[in-house]
Structure 1
Protein backbone atom coordinates (compact mmCIF):
# COMPACT_ATOMS: atom_id res chain seq x y z
CA UNK A 1 0.00 0.00 0.00
CA UNK A 2 1.19 3.51 -0.77
CA UNK A 3 -0.09 6.92 0.25
CA UNK A 4 -3.30 8.12 -1.35
CA UNK A 5 -3.20 10.07 -4.60
CA UNK A 6 -4.90 12.95 -2.83
CA UNK A 7 -2.11 13.11 -0.29
CA UNK A 8 0.63 12.99 -2.91
CA UNK A 9 -1.04 15.66 -5.06
CA UNK A 10 -1.59 17.92 -2.07
CA UNK A 11 2.05 17.95 -1.02
CA UNK A 12 3.47 18.18 -4.52
CA UNK A 13 1.09 21.05 -5.26
CA UNK A 14 2.16 22.90 -2.13
CA UNK A 15 5.89 22.59 -2.70
CA UNK A 16 5.65 23.28 -6.44
CA UNK A 17 4.01 26.65 -5.71
CA UNK A 18 6.49 27.69 -3.01
CA UNK A 19 10.07 28.85 -3.24
CA UNK A 20 11.34 26.48 -0.56
CA UNK A 21 12.97 29.33 1.34
CA UNK A 22 13.47 28.60 5.06
CA UNK A 23 10.57 29.93 7.10
CA UNK A 24 8.16 30.22 4.17
CA UNK A 25 5.96 27.24 5.15
CA UNK A 26 3.78 27.68 8.24
CA UNK A 27 5.61 24.92 10.16
CA UNK A 28 9.18 25.68 9.00
CA UNK A 29 10.51 27.25 12.18
CA UNK A 30 14.20 27.90 12.75
CA UNK A 31 16.02 24.69 13.84
CA UNK A 32 17.11 26.33 17.09
CA UNK A 33 13.43 26.14 18.09
CA UNK A 34 12.73 22.69 16.70
CA UNK A 35 15.45 20.22 15.72
CA UNK A 36 17.89 21.56 18.34
CA UNK A 37 15.80 20.84 21.45
CA UNK A 38 14.55 17.62 19.86
CA UNK A 39 18.11 16.48 19.23
CA UNK A 40 18.94 17.04 22.89
CA UNK A 41 16.06 14.80 23.93
CA UNK A 42 17.05 12.13 21.42
CA UNK A 43 20.75 12.32 22.32
CA UNK A 44 20.08 11.04 25.82
CA UNK A 45 19.18 7.68 24.29
CA UNK A 46 20.82 7.57 20.85
CA UNK A 47 24.11 6.33 19.47
CA UNK A 48 25.36 9.53 17.85
CA UNK A 49 27.77 7.60 15.61
CA UNK A 50 24.82 6.31 13.58
CA UNK A 51 23.33 8.29 10.69
CA UNK A 52 19.97 10.03 11.03
CA UNK A 53 17.03 10.04 8.62
CA UNK A 54 14.65 13.01 8.58
CA UNK A 55 11.30 11.60 7.44
CA UNK A 56 9.10 14.17 5.71
CA UNK A 57 12.01 16.59 5.41
CA UNK A 58 10.28 19.17 3.22
CA UNK A 59 12.76 21.86 2.19
CA UNK A 60 15.45 20.38 4.44
CA UNK A 61 15.66 23.11 7.07
CA UNK A 62 15.83 20.64 9.95
CA UNK A 63 17.88 18.07 8.01
CA UNK A 64 20.72 20.52 7.53
CA UNK A 65 20.79 21.16 11.28
CA UNK A 66 20.82 17.43 12.01
CA UNK A 67 23.77 17.02 9.64
CA UNK A 68 25.88 19.00 12.07
CA UNK A 69 25.18 16.56 14.90
CA UNK A 70 25.31 13.15 13.21
CA UNK A 71 27.92 11.72 10.83
CA UNK A 72 25.37 11.45 8.01
CA UNK A 73 21.94 13.00 7.55
CA UNK A 74 19.44 11.93 4.91
CA UNK A 75 16.19 13.79 4.33
CA UNK A 76 13.35 12.10 2.48
CA UNK A 77 10.04 13.50 1.31
CA UNK A 78 7.09 12.35 -0.77
CA UNK A 79 7.27 15.50 -2.93
CA UNK A 80 9.80 15.76 -5.73
CA UNK A 81 9.55 19.56 -5.55
CA UNK A 82 10.35 19.51 -1.84
CA UNK A 83 13.45 17.40 -2.48
CA UNK A 84 14.54 19.79 -5.24
CA UNK A 85 14.14 22.75 -2.87
CA UNK A 86 16.14 20.93 -0.17
CA UNK A 87 19.00 20.17 -2.53
CA UNK A 88 19.18 23.76 -3.80
CA UNK A 89 19.20 25.14 -0.27
CA UNK A 90 21.99 22.81 0.86
CA UNK A 91 24.77 25.07 -0.41
CA UNK A 92 27.48 23.27 1.53
CA UNK A 93 26.21 19.79 0.64
CA UNK A 94 26.05 18.73 4.28
CA UNK A 95 23.07 16.42 3.85
CA UNK A 96 21.52 14.04 1.32
CA UNK A 97 17.98 14.24 0.00
CA UNK A 98 15.79 11.85 -1.92
CA UNK A 99 12.14 11.29 -2.79
CA UNK A 100 10.50 8.49 -0.84
CA UNK A 101 6.91 7.55 -0.09
CA UNK A 102 7.01 6.40 3.54
CA UNK A 103 4.15 3.99 2.98
CA UNK A 104 6.25 2.22 0.33
CA UNK A 105 7.91 -0.16 2.76
CA UNK A 106 9.88 -1.85 0.00
CA UNK A 107 11.49 1.49 -0.79
CA UNK A 108 12.03 2.14 2.93
CA UNK A 109 13.80 -1.22 3.26
CA UNK A 110 16.06 -0.34 0.35
CA UNK A 111 17.03 2.90 2.09
CA UNK A 112 17.67 0.99 5.31
CA UNK A 113 19.84 -1.52 3.48
CA UNK A 114 21.98 1.31 2.10
CA UNK A 115 22.33 3.15 5.40
CA UNK A 116 22.43 0.34 7.91
CA UNK A 117 20.90 0.98 11.31
CA UNK A 118 20.00 4.62 11.75
CA UNK A 119 18.38 7.14 14.03
CA UNK A 120 15.11 8.69 12.83
CA UNK A 121 13.52 12.12 13.16
CA UNK A 122 9.76 12.29 12.51
CA UNK A 123 8.24 15.72 13.13
CA UNK A 124 4.49 16.22 12.67
CA UNK A 125 4.09 13.68 9.85
CA UNK A 126 1.64 11.21 11.38
CA UNK A 127 -1.10 13.76 12.07
CA UNK A 128 -0.97 14.98 8.45
CA UNK A 129 -1.05 11.47 7.03
CA UNK A 130 -4.33 9.94 5.93
CA UNK A 131 -5.59 7.58 8.67
CA UNK A 132 -4.90 4.45 6.59
CA UNK A 133 -1.30 5.59 6.04
CA UNK A 134 -0.33 6.14 9.66
CA UNK A 135 0.49 2.52 10.53
CA UNK A 136 2.80 2.13 7.49
CA UNK A 137 4.57 5.38 8.42
CA UNK A 138 5.17 4.05 11.93
CA UNK A 139 6.41 0.79 10.39
CA UNK A 140 8.86 2.81 8.29
CA UNK A 141 10.36 4.22 11.48
CA UNK A 142 10.85 0.70 12.86
CA UNK A 143 12.44 -0.55 9.64
CA UNK A 144 15.04 2.20 9.59
CA UNK A 145 15.99 1.96 13.27
CA UNK A 146 17.07 -1.64 13.27
CA UNK A 147 18.25 -2.66 16.73
CA UNK A 148 20.64 0.16 17.58
CA UNK A 149 18.83 3.14 16.13
CA UNK A 150 16.59 5.45 18.14
CA UNK A 151 13.72 7.53 16.85
CA UNK A 152 12.35 10.91 17.89
CA UNK A 153 8.67 11.35 17.07
CA UNK A 154 6.76 14.55 17.83
CA UNK A 155 3.11 15.19 16.96
CA UNK A 156 0.60 17.94 17.73
CA UNK A 157 -2.21 16.97 20.09
CA UNK A 158 -5.91 17.58 19.51
CA UNK A 159 -5.50 20.82 21.50
CA UNK A 160 -3.52 22.26 18.59
CA UNK A 161 -6.79 22.74 16.71
CA UNK A 162 -7.80 25.61 19.01
CA UNK A 163 -4.48 27.40 18.37
CA UNK A 164 -4.87 27.04 14.61
CA UNK A 165 -8.45 28.31 14.84
CA UNK A 166 -7.23 31.40 16.70
CA UNK A 167 -4.69 32.10 13.95
CA UNK A 168 -7.30 31.56 11.23
CA UNK A 169 -9.79 33.94 12.83
CA UNK A 170 -7.54 36.98 12.98
CA UNK A 171 -9.04 40.32 11.86
CA UNK A 172 -8.47 40.42 8.11
CA UNK A 173 -8.44 36.65 7.85
CA UNK A 174 -5.73 34.03 8.20
CA UNK A 175 -2.10 34.88 7.38
CA UNK A 176 -0.74 33.91 3.97
CA UNK A 177 1.19 30.94 5.37
CA UNK A 178 -2.01 29.42 6.72
CA UNK A 179 -3.89 30.25 3.51
CA UNK A 180 -1.36 28.14 1.62
CA UNK A 181 -1.99 25.24 3.99
CA UNK A 182 -5.73 25.48 3.37
CA UNK A 183 -5.39 26.01 -0.37
CA UNK A 184 -3.60 22.71 -0.79
CA UNK A 185 -5.77 20.91 1.77
CA UNK A 186 -2.88 20.12 4.09
CA UNK A 187 -5.42 19.90 6.85
CA UNK A 188 -4.20 18.90 10.29
CA UNK A 189 -5.96 15.66 11.07
CA UNK A 190 -7.58 14.92 14.39
CA UNK A 191 -5.32 12.60 16.34
CA UNK A 192 -7.19 10.82 19.08
CA UNK A 193 -5.63 10.66 22.56
CA UNK A 194 -3.42 7.61 22.72
CA UNK A 195 -3.37 7.12 18.92
CA UNK A 196 0.30 7.98 18.40
CA UNK A 197 1.72 5.72 21.13
CA UNK A 198 -0.65 3.01 19.89
CA UNK A 199 0.71 3.34 16.36
CA UNK A 200 4.30 3.20 17.61
CA UNK A 201 3.72 0.12 19.74
CA UNK A 202 1.78 -1.48 16.90
CA UNK A 203 4.88 -1.14 14.73
CA UNK A 204 6.90 -3.10 17.28
CA UNK A 205 8.48 -0.01 18.86
CA UNK A 206 9.21 0.49 22.53
CA UNK A 207 8.71 3.97 23.98
CA UNK A 208 11.85 4.79 25.97
CA UNK A 209 10.90 8.33 26.96
CA UNK A 210 8.09 10.80 26.32
CA UNK A 211 6.78 14.19 27.30
CA UNK A 212 4.79 17.26 26.36
CA UNK A 213 6.15 20.23 24.43
CA UNK A 214 5.13 23.19 22.28
CA UNK A 215 5.85 22.70 18.59
CA UNK A 216 7.11 26.02 17.22
CA UNK A 217 5.76 27.31 13.91
CA UNK A 218 7.33 29.95 11.67
CA UNK A 219 4.29 32.26 12.09
CA UNK A 220 3.85 34.77 14.92
CA UNK A 221 0.75 36.12 16.62
CA UNK A 222 -0.05 39.84 16.14
CA UNK A 223 1.62 40.59 19.50
CA UNK A 224 4.89 39.10 18.22
CA UNK A 225 4.78 35.88 20.20
CA UNK A 226 5.41 32.73 18.20
CA UNK A 227 2.61 30.39 17.23
CA UNK A 228 3.25 27.07 18.96
CA UNK A 229 1.12 23.95 18.88
CA UNK A 230 0.68 21.72 21.92
CA UNK A 231 2.43 18.44 21.13
CA UNK A 232 3.71 15.20 22.58
CA UNK A 233 7.14 13.72 21.88
CA UNK A 234 8.40 10.15 22.08
CA UNK A 235 11.83 8.51 21.90
CA UNK A 236 11.46 5.00 20.52
CA UNK A 237 13.51 1.87 19.85
CA UNK A 238 12.83 -1.56 18.41
CA UNK A 239 10.91 -3.57 20.99
CA UNK A 240 12.40 -6.72 22.44
CA UNK A 241 11.30 -9.88 20.70
CA UNK A 242 9.96 -8.09 17.62
CA UNK A 243 11.57 -7.92 14.21
CA UNK A 244 11.59 -4.25 13.12
CA UNK A 245 8.71 -3.58 10.74
CA UNK A 246 7.08 -6.97 11.31
Structure 2
Protein backbone atom coordinates (compact mmCIF):
# COMPACT_ATOMS: atom_id res chain seq x y z
CA UNK A 1 0.00 0.00 0.00
CA UNK A 2 1.18 3.54 -0.67
CA UNK A 3 -0.27 7.01 -0.20
CA UNK A 4 -2.78 8.36 -2.67
CA UNK A 5 -1.55 10.54 -5.52
CA UNK A 6 -3.88 13.31 -4.27
CA UNK A 7 -2.20 13.32 -0.87
CA UNK A 8 1.30 13.27 -2.33
CA UNK A 9 0.49 16.09 -4.74
CA UNK A 10 -0.97 18.19 -1.92
CA UNK A 11 2.38 17.99 -0.14
CA UNK A 12 4.28 18.74 -3.34
CA UNK A 13 2.19 21.89 -3.90
CA UNK A 14 2.64 22.97 -0.30
CA UNK A 15 6.43 22.65 -0.38
CA UNK A 16 6.75 24.22 -3.83
CA UNK A 17 5.04 27.33 -2.48
CA UNK A 18 6.69 27.33 0.97
CA UNK A 19 9.17 30.15 1.63
CA UNK A 20 12.75 29.17 2.27
CA UNK A 21 13.47 31.35 5.27
CA UNK A 22 13.57 29.93 8.83
CA UNK A 23 10.30 29.52 10.73
CA UNK A 24 8.17 30.41 7.70
CA UNK A 25 6.28 27.09 7.90
CA UNK A 26 3.76 26.45 10.70
CA UNK A 27 5.62 23.53 12.33
CA UNK A 28 9.18 24.56 11.39
CA UNK A 29 10.25 25.57 14.89
CA UNK A 30 13.93 26.12 15.62
CA UNK A 31 15.70 22.92 16.77
CA UNK A 32 16.20 24.29 20.28
CA UNK A 33 12.38 24.12 20.60
CA UNK A 34 11.94 20.79 18.80
CA UNK A 35 14.63 18.14 18.27
CA UNK A 36 16.78 19.80 20.92
CA UNK A 37 14.00 19.19 23.45
CA UNK A 38 13.35 15.66 22.24
CA UNK A 39 16.91 14.31 22.16
CA UNK A 40 17.34 14.17 25.96
CA UNK A 41 14.25 11.96 26.06
CA UNK A 42 15.43 9.75 23.18
CA UNK A 43 19.15 9.30 23.76
CA UNK A 44 18.97 7.32 27.05
CA UNK A 45 17.08 4.59 25.18
CA UNK A 46 19.48 4.22 22.25
CA UNK A 47 21.28 0.89 22.40
CA UNK A 48 23.58 1.97 19.57
CA UNK A 49 23.89 5.71 18.82
CA UNK A 50 26.16 4.87 15.89
CA UNK A 51 23.31 3.36 13.89
CA UNK A 52 22.04 5.55 11.05
CA UNK A 53 19.50 8.09 12.29
CA UNK A 54 16.49 8.60 10.01
CA UNK A 55 14.51 11.83 10.27
CA UNK A 56 11.23 10.57 8.82
CA UNK A 57 9.03 13.33 7.44
CA UNK A 58 11.99 15.71 7.45
CA UNK A 59 10.33 18.49 5.46
CA UNK A 60 12.84 21.24 4.76
CA UNK A 61 15.51 19.60 6.91
CA UNK A 62 15.66 22.05 9.83
CA UNK A 63 15.71 19.29 12.44
CA UNK A 64 17.76 16.98 10.20
CA UNK A 65 20.69 19.40 10.12
CA UNK A 66 20.58 19.71 13.90
CA UNK A 67 20.60 15.93 14.28
CA UNK A 68 23.49 15.65 11.82
CA UNK A 69 25.63 17.76 14.15
CA UNK A 70 25.16 15.12 16.85
CA UNK A 71 25.06 11.77 15.05
CA UNK A 72 27.53 10.38 12.50
CA UNK A 73 25.08 9.25 9.80
CA UNK A 74 21.78 11.10 9.41
CA UNK A 75 19.26 10.64 6.59
CA UNK A 76 16.30 12.95 6.01
CA UNK A 77 13.34 11.39 4.20
CA UNK A 78 10.07 12.90 3.04
CA UNK A 79 7.25 11.96 0.70
CA UNK A 80 7.52 15.26 -1.21
CA UNK A 81 10.35 15.83 -3.66
CA UNK A 82 9.81 19.58 -3.22
CA UNK A 83 10.52 19.22 0.51
CA UNK A 84 13.73 17.33 -0.23
CA UNK A 85 14.79 20.11 -2.60
CA UNK A 86 14.33 22.61 0.25
CA UNK A 87 16.33 20.36 2.58
CA UNK A 88 19.24 19.98 0.18
CA UNK A 89 19.38 23.72 -0.50
CA UNK A 90 19.46 24.35 3.23
CA UNK A 91 22.38 21.95 3.72
CA UNK A 92 25.07 23.03 1.24
CA UNK A 93 27.75 21.35 3.35
CA UNK A 94 25.98 18.01 3.01
CA UNK A 95 25.84 17.30 6.74
CA UNK A 96 23.03 14.81 6.06
CA UNK A 97 21.73 12.96 3.04
CA UNK A 98 18.16 13.33 1.81
CA UNK A 99 15.76 11.18 -0.17
CA UNK A 100 12.16 10.92 -1.26
CA UNK A 101 10.42 8.09 0.59
CA UNK A 102 6.85 6.88 0.80
CA UNK A 103 7.15 5.08 4.11
CA UNK A 104 3.65 3.62 3.79
CA UNK A 105 4.91 1.58 0.84
CA UNK A 106 6.16 -1.70 2.30
CA UNK A 107 8.61 -2.24 -0.53
CA UNK A 108 10.19 1.21 -0.13
CA UNK A 109 10.60 0.75 3.63
CA UNK A 110 12.15 -2.68 3.14
CA UNK A 111 14.51 -1.37 0.46
CA UNK A 112 15.72 1.44 2.72
CA UNK A 113 16.29 -1.00 5.58
CA UNK A 114 18.24 -3.26 3.25
CA UNK A 115 20.44 -0.27 2.38
CA UNK A 116 20.92 1.24 5.85
CA UNK A 117 20.49 -1.74 8.12
CA UNK A 118 18.80 -1.16 11.48
CA UNK A 119 18.26 2.55 12.15
CA UNK A 120 17.15 4.87 14.90
CA UNK A 121 14.14 6.88 13.73
CA UNK A 122 13.03 10.38 14.71
CA UNK A 123 9.48 11.23 13.64
CA UNK A 124 7.76 14.45 14.68
CA UNK A 125 4.13 15.05 13.87
CA UNK A 126 3.75 12.71 10.90
CA UNK A 127 1.10 10.17 11.93
CA UNK A 128 -1.59 12.81 12.41
CA UNK A 129 -0.82 14.24 8.97
CA UNK A 130 -1.45 10.84 7.35
CA UNK A 131 -4.76 9.76 5.98
CA UNK A 132 -6.35 7.25 8.39
CA UNK A 133 -5.75 4.25 6.14
CA UNK A 134 -2.04 5.04 5.94
CA UNK A 135 -1.35 5.15 9.68
CA UNK A 136 -0.92 1.42 10.27
CA UNK A 137 1.34 0.97 7.21
CA UNK A 138 3.45 3.85 8.52
CA UNK A 139 3.72 2.24 11.95
CA UNK A 140 4.65 -1.03 10.24
CA UNK A 141 7.40 0.84 8.39
CA UNK A 142 8.82 2.06 11.70
CA UNK A 143 9.19 -1.56 12.80
CA UNK A 144 10.86 -2.44 9.51
CA UNK A 145 13.28 0.48 9.64
CA UNK A 146 14.32 0.06 13.27
CA UNK A 147 14.83 -3.68 12.95
CA UNK A 148 16.21 -5.49 15.99
CA UNK A 149 18.58 -2.80 17.32
CA UNK A 150 17.01 0.54 16.43
CA UNK A 151 14.71 2.76 18.45
CA UNK A 152 12.01 5.17 17.33
CA UNK A 153 11.16 8.52 18.90
CA UNK A 154 7.66 9.61 18.02
CA UNK A 155 5.89 12.83 18.94
CA UNK A 156 2.31 13.48 17.85
CA UNK A 157 -0.36 16.05 18.55
CA UNK A 158 -2.64 15.07 21.43
CA UNK A 159 -6.41 14.98 21.11
CA UNK A 160 -6.51 18.24 23.06
CA UNK A 161 -4.78 20.01 20.16
CA UNK A 162 -7.81 19.47 17.92
CA UNK A 163 -10.09 22.13 19.44
CA UNK A 164 -7.20 24.62 19.52
CA UNK A 165 -6.46 24.17 15.82
CA UNK A 166 -10.17 24.18 15.02
CA UNK A 167 -10.61 27.48 16.82
CA UNK A 168 -7.71 29.03 14.92
CA UNK A 169 -8.99 27.74 11.58
CA UNK A 170 -12.47 29.16 12.21
CA UNK A 171 -11.37 32.50 13.63
CA UNK A 172 -13.61 35.38 12.41
CA UNK A 173 -10.48 37.13 11.14
CA UNK A 174 -9.36 34.00 9.30
CA UNK A 175 -6.68 31.47 10.20
CA UNK A 176 -3.22 32.71 11.26
CA UNK A 177 -0.92 33.37 8.28
CA UNK A 178 1.30 30.32 8.77
CA UNK A 179 -1.63 27.96 9.31
CA UNK A 180 -3.54 29.26 6.28
CA UNK A 181 -1.37 27.50 3.63
CA UNK A 182 -1.73 24.20 5.48
CA UNK A 183 -5.50 24.49 5.30
CA UNK A 184 -5.49 25.77 1.72
CA UNK A 185 -3.55 22.76 0.47
CA UNK A 186 -5.75 20.28 2.30
CA UNK A 187 -3.05 18.93 4.61
CA UNK A 188 -4.57 20.08 7.89
CA UNK A 189 -3.70 17.76 10.78
CA UNK A 190 -6.19 14.97 11.29
CA UNK A 191 -7.29 13.90 14.73
CA UNK A 192 -5.59 10.81 16.12
CA UNK A 193 -6.91 9.49 19.43
CA UNK A 194 -4.25 9.45 22.14
CA UNK A 195 -4.85 5.74 22.69
CA UNK A 196 -4.51 4.97 18.98
CA UNK A 197 -0.77 5.61 18.76
CA UNK A 198 0.35 2.85 21.15
CA UNK A 199 -2.17 0.51 19.48
CA UNK A 200 -0.69 1.21 16.05
CA UNK A 201 2.81 0.59 17.36
CA UNK A 202 1.79 -2.62 19.13
CA UNK A 203 0.10 -3.97 16.00
CA UNK A 204 3.35 -3.24 14.15
CA UNK A 205 5.29 -5.33 16.67
CA UNK A 206 6.76 -2.41 18.61
CA UNK A 207 6.80 -1.95 22.38
CA UNK A 208 6.61 1.48 24.01
CA UNK A 209 9.60 1.90 26.33
CA UNK A 210 8.83 5.39 27.63
CA UNK A 211 6.44 8.23 26.98
CA UNK A 212 4.82 11.37 28.26
CA UNK A 213 3.27 14.72 27.45
CA UNK A 214 5.14 17.65 25.96
CA UNK A 215 4.00 20.87 24.25
CA UNK A 216 4.82 20.95 20.53
CA UNK A 217 6.19 24.34 19.51
CA UNK A 218 4.94 25.94 16.30
CA UNK A 219 6.15 29.09 14.57
CA UNK A 220 2.80 30.83 14.98
CA UNK A 221 1.84 33.32 17.67
CA UNK A 222 -0.76 32.35 20.25
CA UNK A 223 -3.91 34.50 20.41
CA UNK A 224 -2.88 35.81 23.83
CA UNK A 225 0.70 36.49 22.77
CA UNK A 226 3.84 34.41 22.82
CA UNK A 227 4.53 31.31 20.76
CA UNK A 228 1.71 28.88 20.00
CA UNK A 229 2.42 25.52 21.61
CA UNK A 230 0.11 22.57 21.03
CA UNK A 231 -0.47 19.66 23.41
CA UNK A 232 1.39 16.57 22.24
CA UNK A 233 2.42 13.11 23.36
CA UNK A 234 5.83 11.51 22.86
CA UNK A 235 7.07 7.97 23.12
CA UNK A 236 10.14 5.83 22.52
CA UNK A 237 9.49 2.40 21.04
CA UNK A 238 11.46 -0.66 19.99
CA UNK A 239 10.86 -4.06 18.45
CA UNK A 240 8.96 -6.27 20.89
CA UNK A 241 11.11 -9.02 22.39
- Scaled by the length of structure 2, the TM-score of the pair is 0.95
- 1:102-138 CA distance string (max 9 Å, x none): 1112111111111111100111110110111001111
Q: Secondary structure of the residue that 2:217 maps to in structure 1? A: strand
Distance in 2 between residues matched to 1:192 and 1:171, nearest whole Å: 28
Partner of 1:27: 27
Partner of 2:6: 6
Matches within 5 A, 1:135-150: 135-150=136-151
Alpha-carbon distance, 1:235 to partner: 0.1
Partner of 2:115: 114
Partner of 1:214: 215
Aligned residues: 240
Distance in 1 between residues matched to 2:222 and 2:233, nearest whole Å: 22
Residues 19 and 85 in structure 1, CA contact (< 8 A), matched pair in contact too: no
- 1:14-66 CA distance string (max 9 Å, x none): 00111333311101100100101111111010121111001111000111111
**Structure 2 portions without partners, runs of 5+:** none
Residues 20 and 82 in structure 1, CA contact (< 8 A), matched pair in contact too: no
Partner of 1:101: 102
Distance in 2 between residues matched to 1:21 and 1:103, nearest whole Å: 29
Distance in 2 between residues matched to 1:193 and 1:222, nearest whole Å: 25
**Structure 1 portions without partners, runs of 5+:** 241-246
Alpha-carbon distance, 1:219 to partner: 0.9
Alpha-carbon distance, 1:143 to partner: 0.8
- Scaled by the length of structure 1, the TM-score of the pair is 0.94
Distance in 1 between residues matched to 2:137 and 2:124, nearest whole Å: 16
Alpha-carbon distance, 1:170 to partner: 4.8
Alpha-carbon distance, 1:151 to partner: 0.5
- CA-based RMSD: 1.3
Partner of 1:154: 155
Alpha-carbon distance, 1:169 to partner: 4.8
Q: Secondary structure of the residue that 1:199 maps to in structure 2? A: helix
Q: Secondary structure of the residue that 1:206 maps to in structure 2? A: strand
